[in-house]
Chain A
Amino acid sequence: MIAIRILDSNGNNVDIPLERPTKQVVEFLSKYIDPNLATPWEYRSWPGFGMAGVTIPTGFSIPSDIRINRFVWPLGASRWAYMFCLCDAESLNSIANYAFGSDGTKQIEVNLVLDSPDSFGKTERVITEMYMLPPKPLSSVVPKIMPSGVNDIVNTNNLYLLTLVDERYFWWFANVGDLSTIVDIDSGVSWSTLISNITNIITTRFGTGFTNSTILATYLNASHAFILPYEDFPLILDAIAYNIGMRVVRKFDGSVKLQSFADADTAISNNFRDNPGRSIIAGGESLIDRVKYF
């Protein structure tokens, strides 16, 4: 099941199932309104003048095609999780009323619930908070108004494209302010001070908790390359992580950690130890020592 979980007026959870696209629907979309031709966001072509000298990767991931009901959760602060899914008008009215507020002025996260449809002996489930961007009509059948004397409007229940994003989408609407107030041109600033200073912006705005793996003294201080006025928060946070041998990881529960590879390996081992019933369909690890391939 895929569902959006909202709260009703009594504060109870209500799961609104989302459509699983049939081949005919996928064909219709691909033919008449392919979502890949009109994506809601463009990808940055360059980091901007102020960020040109700061730590960013030399390459970038080529985004995959938009596929309905594909949930993507990337690494880092600069990219956000997203999912495009289908929803009919009746369900959408309930979701939108909650997500945008009845007056349309709110921005309230919904819970996206992803559950296996049948059993391989597993009961795993992913539940995470997402925000909804403006839904997009995919069909536009006009409601039919019955002849006068009959007080009915035959609703059409059109199909809509829902775009769900996680909180990191909105991190791009936060800047780090004037870092010259904490970064000294002669001595730089400690990494921990820089981290706590800039993450405070997001913590204050969203209540997000940030933690980090132990920062080794070998990484010295952050240089005055970080004396950057009002640059975008995600790029700065990722730059910090790269400099201290970590990566920015946002977890499904909404917490964010600057995590070392050693801690990541421990997390992987624990996660797989706790879920031994997973079935591998394809793939594996490619860089492990082997005696021979089989």
Chain B
Amino acid sequence: MNPKSPVFPRKVYVRFRGRMCDVVSPSFAYNQYYVAEVALSATPYVNAYSGTYTGMVGEKTFHDTAVAVFTAGSPTVPTNKATLDALALRIAKDYYESLNRQIDVTYAGICNIEPNARLEEIVIDYCEDYVTTRIHSPAIFGSEPEQLSHWDTAAASCTNKNTPFEEFYGPPGDCVGGHVRLTVWRVSVVNGRLVKRYARQDTL
């Protein structure tokens, strides 16, 4: 009998946002994101005592801030695919591992059970007519996050020249040779955040 099958989804998806690097002009030919797919069968959690877990039909989806790097030479397959796939496999293993053991036990008396990552709570009741210690695992649904915050440093070299931006004049300014010289700042959205960077100085 395999009670884990209804608990383990058959697949885990991890979606990574895409970034176009070193491209001449933005194009929809480049992927907006990369989804790494991990099958239950690719993990150690597939083996049961008397059979093979197939997992329930469905997929658990995670979203990660790590960026899939696309270039002109590789517009649809991220250049850091191997790294992202390894991370996705690790995320899937962690997810299945978190579900792999469900404990809910009440012991007589007070038990000095060492707190650990498997136990959602240790509860000791000291009442008039009974004394018990109960331990239980986290819930099999909802106790895990879906937004993850990893980062592949391979994306740091991605200059992304064509990120949409706006330029504006701002301080400091000065007067050079009878001409006004103003600083130009560039504002763009980088990975969901508004970023201001120095661009140049213009002499008017």
A260 at the interface (CB under 8 A from B): yes
Q: Which of B65, B100, B127, B156 is within 8 Å of A21, CB to CB?
A: B127
Please give, as numbers and ranges, the residues of chain B lying within 8 Å of A243 by CB-CB distance.
Answer: 148-150
A280 at the interface (CB under 8 A from B): yes
Do B149 and A225 touch across chains, with their CB atoms under 8 A apart?
yes
Q: A75-B117, A287-B101, A291-B50 are in contact. Are A57 and B112 (CB under 8 A)?
A: no
Q: Size of chain B's interface in residues, with CB distance under 8 A?
A: 75
Taken together as a complex, chains A and B put the C-alpha atoms of A260 and B93 apart, in Å, by 12
Q: A261-B97, A267-B116, A293-B1 are in contact. Are A72 and B145 (CB under 8 A)?
A: no
Please give, as numbers and ranges, the residues of chain B lying within 8 Å of A252 by CB-CB distance.
Answer: 112, 114-115
Q: Can you list 11 A-B pairs with a CB-CB distance of less than 8 A? A: A75-B119, A114-B126, A225-B65, A246-B117, A252-B115, A259-B117, A265-B118, A279-B107, A279-B108, A280-B105, A287-B4
| Category for how many chain A residues contact B | 35 or more
A14 at the interface (CB under 8 A from B): no
B102 at the interface (CB under 8 A from A): yes
Which residues 274-288 of A have a CB within 8 angstroms of B?
275, 278-288
Shortest CB-to-CB span from A289 to chain B, Å, is 3
Do B128 and A284 touch across chains, with their CB atoms under 8 A apart?
no
Stretch at the interface among B21-29, B136-144, B176-184: B136-144
Do A275 and B121 touch across chains, with their CB atoms under 8 A apart?
no
Taken together as a complex, chains A and B put the C-alpha atoms of A250 and B121 apart, in Å, by 11
Do B143 and A59 touch across chains, with their CB atoms under 8 A apart?
yes
Stretch at the interface among A95-103, A116-124, A140-148, A149-157: A116-124
Shortest CB-to-CB span from A99 to chain B, Å, is 20
A242 at the interface (CB under 8 A from B): yes
Do A281 and B107 touch across chains, with their CB atoms under 8 A apart?
yes
A71 at the interface (CB under 8 A from B): yes
Q: A58-B146, A219-B87, A245-B94 are in contact. Are A185 and B195 (CB under 8 A)?
A: yes
Binary CB contact string for chain B from 1 to 24 against chain A (1 if under 8 A, 0 otherwise): 111100100000000000000000
Shortest CB-to-CB span from A284 to chain B, Å, is 6
Do B101 and A265 touch across chains, with their CB atoms under 8 A apart?
yes
B110 at the interface (CB under 8 A from A): yes
* Identity of the chain B residue whose Cβ is nearest the Cβ of A64 in the assembled complex: B123
Please give, as numbers and ranges, the residues of chain B lying within 8 Å of A224 by CB-CB distance.
Answer: 65, 151, 191, 193
B56 at the interface (CB under 8 A from A): no
Please give, as numbers and ranges, the residues of chain B lying within 8 Å of A56 by CB-CB distance.
Answer: 145, 147
Do A242 and B148 touch across chains, with their CB atoms under 8 A apart?
yes
Shortest CB-to-CB span from A236 to chain B, Å, is 10
Q: Which of A69, A221, A249, A261 is within 8 Å of B127, CB to CB?
A: A69
Q: A242-B148, A246-B117 are in contact. Are A287 and B7 (CB under 8 A)?
A: yes
Interfacial residues, chain A to chain B (CB-CB below 8 A): 2, 20-23, 53-61, 64, 67, 69-75, 114-117, 120, 122, 124-126, 185-188, 216, 218-227, 239, 242-243, 245-247, 249-252, 259-265, 267-268, 271, 275, 278-293
Do A124 and B146 touch across chains, with their CB atoms under 8 A apart?
no
Q: A70-B123, A74-B120, A260-B117 are in contact. Are A289 and B1 (CB under 8 A)?
A: yes
Do B110 and A116 touch across chains, with their CB atoms under 8 A apart?
yes
Taken together as a complex, chains A and B put the C-alpha atoms of A288 and B53 apart, in Å, by 12
Do A218 and B145 touch across chains, with their CB atoms under 8 A apart?
no
Taken together as a complex, chains A and B put the C-alpha atoms of A288 and B123 apart, in Å, by 23
Do B121 and A282 touch across chains, with their CB atoms under 8 A apart?
no
Do B102 and A239 touch across chains, with their CB atoms under 8 A apart?
no
Q: A75-B117, A243-B149 are in contact. Are A58 and B144 (CB under 8 A)?
A: yes
B43 at the interface (CB under 8 A from A): no
* Identity of the chain A residue whose Cβ is nearest the Cβ of B8 in the assembled complex: A287
Taken together as a complex, chains A and B put the C-alpha atoms of A53 and B146 apart, in Å, by 10
Taken together as a complex, chains A and B put the C-alpha atoms of A61 and B149 apart, in Å, by 23
Do B90 and A264 touch across chains, with their CB atoms under 8 A apart?
no
B48 at the interface (CB under 8 A from A): yes
Which residues 152-195 of B have a CB within 8 angstroms of A?
152-153, 155-156, 190-193, 195
* Identity of the chain A residue whose Cβ is nearest the Cβ of B132 in the assembled complex: A281
* Identity of the chain A residue whose Cβ is nearest the Cβ of B47 in the assembled complex: A289
Q: Which of B107, B146, B191 is within 8 Å of A280, CB to CB?
A: B107
